[in-house]
Structure 1
Amino acid sequence: MENGSPRFPFPYQPYTIQEQFMQSLYCALEQGKVGIFESPTGTGKSLSLICGALSWLRDYEEKRRQETAALLQGGEAVLSTSTSLPSPATQSSTSCSSAEPDWITDFVQKKAERDLVSKLKDDELKRKKREERLEMIRNNVQLKYAMKRKSTEDDEAFKLLQLSKEGPVEASGDPEEEELIIAEYESDDESKTKSKFSGAEDDEDDDLVEEHVTKIYYCSRTHSQLAQFVHEVQKSPFSKDISLVTLGSRQNLCINEEVLRLGSAQRINDRCMELQKNKHEKQHQEESVKRKRGPAKSVCPYVGATALQQLRDEVLGTVHDIEHLLSLGREMHACPYYGTRLAIPPAQLVVLPYQMVLHEATRRASGIQLKGQVLIIDEAHNLSDTLSCIHSSELTGAQLCRAHSQLTQYSDRYRSRLKAKNLMYIKQILFAVEGLVRALGGKVGQNPQSQTTQPGTELLTINNFLFKAQIDNINLFKLQRYFEKSMVSRKLCGFMEKYAGTGVNPHTHTSSNKENRRTEGLNRYLQTLQSSQSAAPVSSADQQGSAEAEKVLSASPMMQVEGFLMALTNSNTDGRVVVHRQGTLSESSVKFLLLNPAVHFAQVLKECRAVIIAGGTMQPVSDFKQELLFSAGVGEERIAEFSCGHVIPPENILPIILCSGPSGQELDFTFQNRDTPRMMDETGRILSNICNVVPGGVVCFFPSYEYSRRIVSHWEASGALARLANKKKIFQEPKKANQVEQVLSEFSRCIQRCAADGGGLSGALLFSVVGGKMSEGINFSDDLGRCVVMVGMPYPNIKSPELQEKMSYLDKHLPHSGGRSAGQALIENLCMKAVNQSIGRAIRHRGDYASIVLCDRRYSRPATISKLPNWIKARTSAHTTFGPAFAALRKFFMDKKQKQLQA
C-alpha cells in the first residue's frame, strides 16, 4: 500500500469505474463484508474482480508476515530480559494483597509468552515451508521432494483422495464378490472410541495433512464462464505469481476413455469410484490372475500417486484452464480430477462451478474448506434459484421401482454374508422406497408402466408427506449417515454392473438353481422397465429430453433415492413435497421443493471471512437481500453494496418504452390480450418500422416459445412475415442447444454480407425467447445487435403449484414492501430479472451502441422502471404514442451513421 491506499496492478489504464470497483472490493474483503457488486457486462468485471481481490490477498499475506515477524522479535526480547525466575522468598514479601504469590503469576505469564512465541515460530516455519515448496515447484525442482515422500506416497494418495477404507470380509471364491459386500457398519456412538486414534495418526506426518493457505474461491455457473475467467487471470499482472487450480466434475476432467463412454455423470462417478477402490485392494495383482471376467473390474491407469503429485505440482506452478489440464493429464498419464483436488490446500485461487461450493456434501467430498476464506460468486443474478435447484430433488415411479428391485436382489443374494445391522438398515431403505411408491398410488414388485394412477398434483409439507408415505417412524438422519458411511448406493451400482443386462448367468459358479432363477428374473424385470420406457411415443421435439431421461434411468437410481431422502431432513417449514401423478406409476413423480434457500446459504456466509456476490445486473437488490441475506441471519451492517454505470457514453444507448403502436393500438400484452389478432398485427407493424431504420441485426425477444410460435404463424398467414423478410433475413432461435451455434453463425454471416454488399437487405432479424438459449451468455455486440426488442412482459406461470407455494411461503415469512406482498414481489422480480438479462445482450464494450425497445405500457410504471439496471434506467424514456418514439429511434441511428462517415 502507498499512503494507506492500496495499489491495483492492471494490464492497462483502468476506467474510473474499474478503479472504484476494485477499491470497494478491497474494502469489503478487508472488513469481512458480504458484498453485492453490480457491474454491467462490457465494463471489465472479471478483470476488476481478479485485480481487486488478488491485490487484497497480496497485501493480507504481507501484513501477516510483518505482524508475525514483529511478534517474534518482541516476544524474544521480552523473554531475554528475564532468564531466571524470582525466588519465592522475594516474592512473598510483596504479595500480601494477591490471592496467589507473584512468583506464580509471573511464572504463568512467562509460560504464556513462551507458548505464544513458540506458536508464532511454528506458524512462521510452516509458512516458510509452504513458500519454499511452491518456489521449488515453480522452478521444477521436484526430485528431492518426490524422493522424500516415496515411502508414503500410496498412503498419501489414499488419504487425500478421500477414498473409503473397507473392513475385512470373509474370504470367498470370487474376489469381485468381496468388493460388493457392505463392510460391517458402525454407528457414530460405536466409532467414538476409535476417532481419537485417527487424530494421532494425522499428527504423525505434518506433510500428509496439508494446511489450507488463505485463498479465494471463485465460482460461476458454467465451465465456459470459468474458462473465460481463467483466461482473464492469465492476462492479468498476477498470472506469474498466483497458484491457481480449476476444479470440475469427473465428466469434465476424466481422461479415461472407457469411463467417459458411459455418458451420464452418475454412471461416470460410480465407475470412477469402483476403479479407485480396486486400486487399493492389497492382493490386486494376485486376484487379477484368478479372475474369470477380468475387464469388469479393471484399475484406472491414471491414478498413480507419483503421477498425481507431479500433475498437482505442475498445476500449481502455472495457470491452466480445463482444456490445458486435460492435455497435461494425458501427457503425464495422470488424472486431472484427482490431481486438481490434491492442489486445493496450497492453491491461492480456486476456480470452481456453483454446485461444488454451494452444496455442503459436495464441498466436503471435494476437500473444500471455507472457514476464514474469501468466496466470490459471479453471475449471481439467479443465486436464489440456483440454491433452490441444487437442494431440490425429484424421483419418478420408474426410478423408485428400479431401486427397490435392485436392493431386494442385492439383499437376497448376500443375506448370509451381511451383518445384522446392515440388513436392518437395508430393510429400512426398502420400507422407505415402498412408502414413496405408495404415496404415488402404486406398489413395488410390479411393472410401473402397467400400474395406473389417478392424475393430479398434490402439495404437502414434509411432515404430512412422511405421514402419507407412512415412513414417519424412520429416523432419516440415521439413514442418511448409513448411506454415507456404508456406500450402499455404490455397492448396488457395482452389483448391477456385474449382473444386470450382461447376458451371462451370474451364478454359473454356484449350484443354487433358486439363485439362478432369482437373478434371471431381475434381468427380465429390468429389461421390461427399459423397453417399456423406450416404447413410449416420443415427438421429435422431445427427443433430447427423452435421451436425458434414459440416461437418468440407466444410472444408479438408489443415488437419486438417497438424495431425495436427504432432502426430507430439511425443516418442515423450509420445503414442500410435490406429488405429481400422471396416469401411470412410471411417469408419476415425487419432488422436493426447497422454499428457503437462505437455510443452506447461511452456513457459507457464517464460515467465510467475506462473500462477494457479483453480477452484470443484481436488480432488484432490496428483495435479493431480504430473501437470501437477512433470512440467513446477516445484519445490514455486514452488507456492502456497489453498483457502477456502463463504460459507454450515455449517448450510445437509447432505451424506449412503447405504450402504443403505429395505428394507436395500446400495447398491453397481458395473457387475455396478447393472442388477439389486432395485438399481433400491431406488433408486426412495430417490427416493420424498426427494421426500416435500424441497420445490422435486430433481436426480438418473446415471452415464451409457445407465444413465439403463435405470433409467427399469424404473421405467416397475414403476409406480415413476408414483408419483414423483404427488409431483413429472418432467423429463429432453435429449441435444441446443439443447434444454437449454427444459427448464430449464419445470423452473423448474413449481417456481414449485407454490410459489405449494401444491397436490398439491411441485415437480419432474430426471433428469440426470454429465458431461452440466447437470452443469457450470448453476445450480440456491434452490428449483431443494434436493437433489442422486448415483446410484452415475461411473467412466470403463476398457476404453477411450485410457484404458488413459493409465493405463499414468502407472504408468511417475509415482510411486505412498497404496498405489495413478498409473493407479488417475487413474480415481478422474476419477470424483470429475465428482462434485464435479455436487454443486456446488445452493449458489450465501450465503443458499442444500441437501442432497446420495450413494447408494453406496463413498463412505464415507476415501480417497473426502478427495476431496470441503473445505466439503462437513467436514459429510459416512455412514449404514449408511437410517432415521437420512432422519430427518436431514426435520429439515433442517423447520428451514428453521420459520425462513422466523419470518422
Structure 2
Amino acid sequence: MKLYIDGLPVLFPYPKIYPEQYAYMTDLKRALDAQGHCVLEMPSGTGKTVSLLSLIVSYQKYHPAGRKLIYCSRTVPEIEKALAELKRLMEYRARYYFDPDAEDPNDPVLKPPDWVDPDEDDKDGLSDGGGGSGGDSVRSMSEDPDPEGEGSNAAAERARKKARFRKTRKAKGKWASKLKLEPFLAVGLSSRKNLCVHPEVSRERRGKVVDARCRDMTNAWVCSKGREEPGSVELCTYHEELGKLQPGEMLPQGVWTLEEIKEMAKEEGICPYFAIRRSLAFVDVIIYSFHYLLDPKVADQVSKEMSKDAIVVFDEAHNIDNVCIESLSIDLTRPMLDSAFRSINQLADKVDEVKRTDASKLQDEYAKLVEGLQAQADARNGVDGAESIMTNPVLPDDLLSEAIPGNIRRAEHFVAFLRRFVEYLKTRMRVLHVVAETPASFLQHLKDITYIERKPLRFCAERLRMLVSTLELTRLDEYASLQKVAAFATLVATYDKGFLLILEPFETENATVPNPIFHFTCLDASLAIAPVFERFSSVVITSGTISPLDMYPKMLKFETVVQESYAMTLTRSCFLPMVITRGSDQVSISSRFEVRNDPAVVRNYGNILIEFAKAVPDGIVAFFPSYLYMESIVAAWHDMGILEEAWKYKLIFIETPDAPETSIALENFRRACDNGRGAILLSVARGKVSEGIDFDHNYGRAVIMFGVPYQYTESRILKARLEFLRDNFRIRENDFLTFDAMRHAAQCVGRVLRGKTDYGLMVFADKRFAKADKRQKLPKWIAQQISDTHTNLSTDMALVEAKLFMRTMGQPFPEGKNGVSLWDLSDVEARQAKEREHFERLMQMDLEQEQQRHGANVGTAGEKGGGGGADKAGREDDMLLDDEDDEADDEWLIARVEEAERIHSERLKGGTAHIVEDYDAEFGDGADLFELDLD
C-alpha cells in the first residue's frame, strides 16, 4: 500500500493498515519534521515495528539528507525480529518499484535471486534461472571438489571460495543496479559471542571468555607482532582478512540478519563483528541493544561516530530508566578486590620487566602523557580499528580537556596509587554496619586516610587503559576486576550529584556471616541518556506499556513535541481484563507482605490456578512478584495437593534464574501446547519470560498476575532512589512504586495478545488492582477494555466470565468489518478527507472569531457613537450560534464547539492546539488521536 502522510509518500508492506498504525505514523512524522523527541505508546500486537520502519525508511528516501536510523531494542530475538520486518519491507519496496501497477504488490513479481552466476552475466547484466535454486547453487559451489584433483590444500580451496563469492556479490550488485533497486544497507550488531565465526572461539559458551580470546587475537600490538613475525602469536585469520578491505566495501547492500551476515562472513573469510563495526558510517539502519547508546563504556567504542542528525528509536522502552541507572552503577565485593590486588601485583611485575628490557616504552608513554590526553584521542581504538581493550566509564570529552596529574604519569607511581586505593576499599569493607554516603563524603574520607586527591582518581580508568596498551598485556579477562575498580574510581570522582555509595556488610538481612557489597548506585537516570538527547535531534521512546507518559520526560529530563497513547480499535473484544479481589470463600486475596503467607490466601490462589486450568484451553502463563514469593507459594501448593490437582489438566513448568534451565522449560512448554496436552508456566515479573517472550495464540490463552509486582521496598538502593525522585522531581514515593509495578504488570499481561486475531484472558489476582490509582496507570488500550463489572470479582464470578469469553472467541471471526479495525487505502483517504474538512471548519470558525474580536475593538473605539460596535459584536455572536445550530446534524462539530473555543484562546496566546477527538460510530469503536498545529 502506498499512502501519503502529511505529504510524505509512505510504502507500507501490507495491503491494509490498522487505524492505530496510521495515527502512530502521523504523530511520528510530525515529531521528525519538528526535529524533536516524542513518547508514543501503541497497543501490543498492532504492528508498531513495521509502522516505525515504514515511516522512517520512507522519510529517509524522501529527504535528500538521508538521516541514519539507530534502532535500539532490548534482546537479541527482538533485534532479529526487527531485522526480519525490515527485510520484508525492503523486499516489498523493490517489488513495488519494479511493478507498481501489480494487482497485488505482495505477489513475488520480483524475487531477487540468491545467486547470479558471474560467468553468465550477459550484455544486460541479468541472468535467467538464478532465482529458484540460488541457495543450492551457492552451497554446491562451496562444496564442489577441486577440479584439479587431490593436489589442492585447504588454503587454496578457501581462496577459491572467497574469489567465487566476491564475483557472485559483484554480479548481484550489477543485477540490482540494472533493476534500479534502492541502495540500502541495514545490519544488526550484537556481542562477539553471537557473531563470532572463528572455529574454536565460537565454541565457547561464556560471553566473557569469547570476548577475552577475541581481544587476545585482535589487539593492535598482537596483530603488529604477528605480521612482523609470522607464527610468533596466534592471529584471527578472519580479522586479518578484513584488513585487506576498505570500510565501505566490507558489506554488500541489503538487509542482513545476524545469521545471514555470519554465513556471508564465513564464505568470504572475514570477521562479521568487526565488519559491522567498521561499516557503521555507511549503513542506513543499525539495530542493536540499548547499551550501545546508553552505556558510556560501550557507546564510546561503537556509537561515537554516528551523525548528529540520526533518528534514534528506543523500542520496548518501558524500563529505559532502569537501563540508564544500571549502565552507571557498579557493585564491588571482597573477592573482586582480592582479584584486583593480584592484578596490580602482576602489573608491577610487568612494569619492572619492561623497565629492564625495554625502558623506552615507558619513557615514550610518559612523554605522551605530558602532552595530554587530547593527543591520544585519535588512537583510542588501535591501529587496526579493533576496540580499546579497556574502556572509560564516562564520556571521553569529560577527560580529554584536562591533562593527567603528574603523580600517576609514571607507570610505577600509578601502580602504587592503585594498590593504595584498593587497600583502602578493603579496609572500608571490614565494617559490620550499613554505611550510606555521598561521593563527596567518600572522597573526603579517602583523602583524610590515604591522601589520595580527587583529580587523579578521575583519570584512573583512562590511565589504566594506556598502561595495559603500553605493556602489551594479553589474557585481559584476568584484569576485569581491576578494570571495574578503576571505573569505580573514575565515576566516584566525576559525579557530585545523582549517586550514592551504600556499603552492606551482609548479603541478606538474616545472614550471620559477613559478605560485604559496596554499591556505587546511580539515582539519576537522566545522566546516562542526557548525551543522547543533546547529540541527536530526534529521539523516539516507544513501547506498548509506557503509561503514564508524563513520567518519562520527568525522570529523563527532556522535552517532547509529541506525547501520545493510542487506543485499540477492535471488531470484537479479543482480550478480557478482569480483577479478582476475593476467592470462592469471599476471603480477600493479595500478595501484601502481611497476608501473603496466609493459608487462606495461598489456597485461594491455588484454586484460581486449578479452575482456570480446567476452563482455559492450551497455555496459561502465571506471573509472581518475585522468585522468593513464587518459591514459597509453589512449596505451599505442593503441601496442599494443589499442584497434583492442576497436573490432571495441564503440565506445569517453572522459570528459574538460570537462563539455560528456563530455555528448556520454555521449549517443553511450547511442545506441550502444540501437542494439545496444555501447560502452565509459572514465571516472575521482571524476569526473562516477562520481558522478551511472546505467547501468541495457543501458547497464551490466559495470563494470571498473582499479586502486584512491587519492588522490594526495604531495599536501601530503592529507598535512596525514591528519596532522590521526591527531592529533585517531586515524584512521590507511592506514585513511583505504583507506576513501576503497573508498567511491569502491563508488560506481563501484554504477552497474551500479539495481534487482533489473537485472543486471551488478562487476570489481575489481587484486591489492590481494583483501586483507581492502579487502574489509571494501566495503558490506555488495556484500561478501555476494563468495565466496572469486571473490577471486583470473586473466583466463581471470574470463571463464569472466562467461560463465556472463551465460548465467544471460539466462534468464527466476523468478516466484512473493514473500515473499523482494519483500513484499506480508500478508508485512509476518507479519513484524511474528513480531517481536512474538519480543519477547514475550525479555520473558518477561527476567522469568524477574529472578525468578531476586531469588530468588538472597533465598537469600543466608537462607543461615543451609540455603542454600534457592541451591537455588531452581539449580532455576530448570534450569527455564530445560528451557524452552530445549522451544523447540529454533524456529530463531530457539535461535540467539539467548546474544544474549538479553547483552541482559539490558545492560538491567541501563541500556543499550539492539540485536538483530541473521540472515535464515533462512523469510523468504528475505540478512539483515535491526532493533533493539529493551527499556527
The answer, yes or no, to whether TM exceeds 0.5 is yes
Aligned counterpart, 1:408: 348
1:557 aligns with 2:498: no
Alpha-carbon distance, 1:299 to partner: 2.9
Equivalent pair of 2:354/2:471 in contact (CA under 8 Å) = no
Counterpart among 370, 377, 380 of residue 314 in structure 2: 377
Is 2:666 the partner of 1:751? no
Quote the Cα distance in structure 2 between the aligned partners of 1:587 and 1:898.
59
Return the offset for 1:386. 0.3
Displacement of 1:723 in angstroms is: 2.1
Match of 2:71 among 213, 218, 243: 218
**Distance (whole Å) between structure 2 residues aligned to residue 848 and residue 320 of structure 1:** 30
* Cα offset, 1:23, TM superposition: 1.6
Mapped partners of 1:675, 1:489: distance in 2: 56
Superposed CA offset, 1:168-204 (max 9, x none) = xxxxxxxxxxxxxxxxxxxxxxxxxxxxxxxxxxxxx
Q: In the superposition, relative to structure 1, how do residues 480 and 441 fare at CA in structure 2: closer, same or farther (>3 Å)?
A: closer
Equivalent pair of 1:266/1:555 in contact (CA under 8 Å): no
1:678 maps onto 2:615 in alignment: no
Q: 1:799 aligns with which of 703, 706, 714?
A: 714
Distance 1:486 1:772 in 2: 36
Change (3 A) 1:654 1:2: closer
The aligned residue for residue 265 of structure 2 is: 329
Correspondence 1:225-236 to 2 at 5 A: 225-236=78-89
1:528 corresponding residue in structure 2: none
Q: Paired residue for 2:923?
A: none
Residues in 1 aligned to 2:228 and 2:698: alpha-carbon distance in whole angstroms: 67
Letter of the 1:859 counterpart: F
In structure 2, what is the Cα distance between the partners aligned to 1:260 and 1:585? 40
State the partner residue of 1:581.
505
Q: CA deviation at 1:375?
A: 0.7
Do the aligned partners of 1:489 and 1:559 also contact (CA within 8 Å) in 2? Answer: no
The residue that corresponds to 1:775 in the other structure is 690
Residue 309 of structure 1 aligns to a residue in which SS?
coil
Which residue of structure 2 lines up, in the alignment, with residue 206 of structure 1?
Answer: none
Asked if the contact 2:348–2:415 (Cα under 8 Å) also holds between the matched residues in 1, the reply is no
Please name the residue that 1:21 is paired with: 24
Structure 2: which amino acid aligns with 1:9? L
Between the aligned partners of 2:412 and 2:294, the Cα distance in structure 1 is 30
Q: Could you say if the C-alpha distance between residues 832 and 488 of structure 1 is closer, same or farther in structure 2, counting changes exceeding 3 Å?
A: same
* 2:305 is equivalent to residue 368 of structure 1: yes
Provide the C-alpha distance between the structure 1 equivalents of 2:419 and 2:814, rounded to a whole number of angstroms: 72
Distance in structure 2 (CA, Å) of the matches to 1:883 and 1:482 = 64
Match of 1:815 in 2: 730
Give the structure 1 partner of residue 541 of structure 2. 613
Residue of structure 1 in register with 2:52 after alignment: 49
- Tell me the distance in 2 between the aligned counterparts of 1:2 and 1:224: 32
What SS does the corresponding residue of 1:413 show, helix, strand or coil? helix
Q: Relative to 1, partners in 2 of residues 1:671 and 1:326: Cα closer, same or farther, differing over 3 Å?
A: same
Deviation string, structure 1 residues 421-458 (Cα, Å, up to 9, x no partner): 6664653454345334423427xxxxxxxxx9344432
Q: CA deviation at 1:609?
A: 1.6
Deviation for aligned residue 1:29: 0.9
Alpha-carbon distance in structure 2 between the residues aligned to 1:902 and 1:14: 16
- Which residue among 613, 618, 621 is the counterpart of 1:699? 621
Equivalent residue runs for 1:52-131 within 5 Å: 52-61=55-64
Matches of 1:485 and 1:316 in 2, distance apart? 39
Deviations 1:227-252 (A, max 9, x none): 11111111003575322232233333
Aligned residue in 1 for 2:395:
none
Q: Which amino acid aligns with 2:47?
A: G
Q: Judging changes above 3 Å, is the alpha-carbon distance between structure 1 residues 567 and 472 closer, same or farther for their aligned structure 2 residues?
A: farther
2:352 partner amino acid: D
Write the letter of the residue equivalent to 1:560.
K
Structure 1 residue 804 displacement after superposition = 1.0
1:468 aligns with one of 426, 437, 445: 445
Paired residue for 1:501?
none
How far residue 567 of structure 1 moved from its aligned partner, in angstroms, is 1.8
Deviations for 1:734-768, whole angstroms, at most 9, x for unmatched residues?
442112333223223323333xxxxxx7x332222
Instruction: Flag structure 2 segments of 5+ consecutive residues without an equivalent.
Output: 95-180, 367-405, 817-935
Alpha-carbon shift at residue 258 of structure 1 (Å): 4.9
* Residues in 2 aligned to 1:10 and 1:227: alpha-carbon distance in whole angstroms: 20
- Alpha carbons of structure 1 residues 735 and 220: separation in structure 2 relative to 1, 3 Å: same
Aligned to 2:591: 669
**In the superposition, relative to structure 1, how do residues 479 and 713 fare at CA in structure 2: closer, same or farther (>3 Å)?**
closer
Pairing partner for 2:234 from 298, 308, 318: 298
Contact 1:217 1:376 in 2 (8 A): yes
Cα deviation digits, residues 786-842 of structure 1 (max 9, x gap): 1111111111111111111111111111124xxxx1x32222122112111110111
Once the two structures are TM-superposed, the CA of residue 362 in structure 1 deviates from its matched residue by: 2.6
User: Are the counterparts in 1 of residues 74 and 289 from structure 2 also a CA contact under 8 Å?
Assistant: yes
Superposed CA offset, 1:529-557 (max 9, x none): xxxxxxxxxxxxxxxxxxxxxxx7x4533
Give the alignment's TM-score, normalised by structure 2: 0.66
| Match for residue 631 of structure 2 among 709, 728, 731 | 709
Moved more, 861-870 or 243-252: 243-252
Q: What's the CA shift for 1:306?
A: 6.3
Q: What do the CA deviations read for 1:672-696 (whole angstroms, capped 9, x no partner)?
A: 1010111111112222332332222
Q: Is 1:243 matched up with 2:221?
A: no
Q: What amino acid maps onto 1:894 in structure 2?
A: R
Out of 849, 852, 869, the position equivalent to 2:779 is 869
Q: Tell me the residue number matched to 2:285.
A: 349
Displacement of 1:363 in angstroms is: 2.6
Indicate the residue corresponding to 2:197 in structure 1: 255
User: Of residues 9, 12, 16 in structure 2, which corresponds to 1:10?
Assistant: 12
Alignment-mate amino acid for residue 59 of structure 1: Y
**What is the root-mean-square deviation of aligned Cα atoms in Å?**
3.2
Letter of the 1:335 partner, please give it. C
Report if the CA contact (8 A) 1:581-1:589 is conserved. yes
What is the Cα deviation at residue 594 of structure 1?
0.8
One-letter code aligned to 1:855:
A
Task: Output the CA distance in 2 between the equivalents of 1:372 and 1:599.
Answer: 21
Match of 2:582, SS? coil
Pair 1:362–1:766, CA change in 2 (3 A): closer
Q: 2:351, 2:471 within 8 Å by CA — same for their partners in 1?
A: no
Structure 1 partner of 2:114: none
Could you say which residue in structure 1 is the equivalent of 2:434?
457
Deviation digits for residues 548-593 of structure 1, max 9, x if unmatched?
Answer: xxxx7x4533222222222213422211122233599995332321
Deviations 1:497-535 (A, max 9, x none): 49xxxxxxxxxxxxxxxxxxxxxxxxxxxxxxxxxxxxx
Cα gap change, 1:284/1:428 in structure 2, threshold over 3 Å: closer, same or farther?
closer
In structure 2, the CA distance between the partners of 1:11 and 1:642, relative to structure 1 (3 Å rule), is same
Pair 1:699–1:276, CA change in 2 (3 A): closer
Structure 2 counterparts to residues 274-289 of structure 1, below 5 A: 274-278=216-220, 287-288=229-230
Contact 1:476 1:566 (C-alpha < 8 Å) held by counterparts: no
Q: CA deviation at 1:371?
A: 1.6
Secondary structure of the 2:623 match is strand
1:60 Cα deviation after fit: 1.8
Aligned 8 A contact 2:325 2:528 in 1: no
Whether the 8 Å CA contact 1:278–1:298 is kept in 2: the answer is no
Task: Say if 1:38 and 1:643, in contact at 8 Å, map to a contact too.
Answer: yes
What secondary structure is seen at the aligned counterpart in 1 of 2:38? Answer: strand
Does residue 389 of structure 1 match 2:323?
Answer: no
Secondary structure at the counterpart of residue 556 of structure 1:
helix
Alpha-carbon spacing, 1:734–1:396, altered in 2? closer, same or farther (3 Å): closer
Unaligned 5+ residue runs, structure 1?
Answer: 65-212, 289-293, 443-451, 499-551, 755-760
Distance 1:748 1:267 in 2: 32
Comparing 43-52 and 596-605, the one that deviates more: 596-605
Compare 574-583 and 337-346 and name the one that shifted more: 574-583
Question: Which 10-residue stretch deviates more, 683-692 or 415-424?
Answer: 415-424
| SS of equivalent to 2:319 | helix
Q: 2:762 matched to which residue of 1?
A: 852
What amino acid is aligned across from residue 394 of structure 1 in structure 2?
D
Q: Distance in 2 between matches of 1:497 and 1:840?
A: 44
CA distance in structure 2 between the aligned counterparts of 1:585 and 1:412, rounded to whole angstroms: 39
